[in-house]
């Protein structure tokens, strides 16, 4: 068995984009999550009359979808792939906004980075929407929860 190695680095240590042209096209899915820690005042506003800038949940959801679509523009070695679906869910809890994003494709490479980017951009947007009320809001725990498809098959945290 070969030793694990970084796939985006060549033998000389230079960054490279992995050649996926020989890989089979398969259905692939990835789910990521994260949270934006917010003040009790923000929680009350999100559960009630809303924050001063408008519907923060709706804006963050749309931003998460747009973020997934722009992943190869933001993460230099990501392949541009055809996204076939992106779902972004936001749930207001007593201390945070929980964000979950699922991305789907049928392509030669996975959608993990698209799901992670979706969560990060939705989180950044939530902070932008609530910063006037809570300048201490922060994104935390952005992580991959699960992925499926391709040669490596299923993985779950």
Q: Give the catalytic positions in this structure.
A: 128
114 is in an annotated binding site: yes
Bridge partners, residue 85, by sequence:
104
78 is in an annotated binding site: yes
Q: Token digits for 63? A: 């931003």
Q: Tell which residue, 141, 70, 147, 44, has the closest CA to residue 99.
A: 141
DSSP H or E stretch at residue 44 = helix 40-47
129 is in an annotated binding site: no
**Upper half-sphere CA count for residue 32 (Cβ side, 13 Å):** 26
**Binding site feature residues:** 77-79, 113-114
Annotated binding site for substrate: 77-79, 113-114
């Amino acid at each position: 068995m070969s030793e694990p190695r970084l796939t985006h680095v060549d033998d000389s240590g230079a960054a490279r984009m992995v050649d996926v042209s020989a890989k089979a096209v398969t259905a692939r899915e990835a789910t990521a999550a994260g949270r934006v820690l917010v003040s009790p005042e923000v929680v009350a506003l999100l559960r009630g009359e809303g924050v001063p800038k408008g519907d923060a949940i709706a804006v963050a959801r749309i931003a998460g979808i747009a973020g997934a679509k722009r992943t190869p523009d933001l993460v230099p070695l990501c392949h541009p792939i055809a996204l076939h679906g992106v779902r972004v869910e936001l749930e207001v809890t007593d201390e945070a906004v929980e964000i979950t994003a699922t991305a789907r494709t049928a392509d030669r490479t996975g959608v993990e980075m698209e799901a992670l980017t979706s969560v990060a951009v939705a989180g950044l947007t939530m902070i932008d929407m609530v910063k006037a009320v809570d300048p201490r809001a922060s994104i935390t725990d952005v992580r991959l929860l699960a992925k499926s498809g391709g040669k490596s098959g299923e993985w779950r945290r």
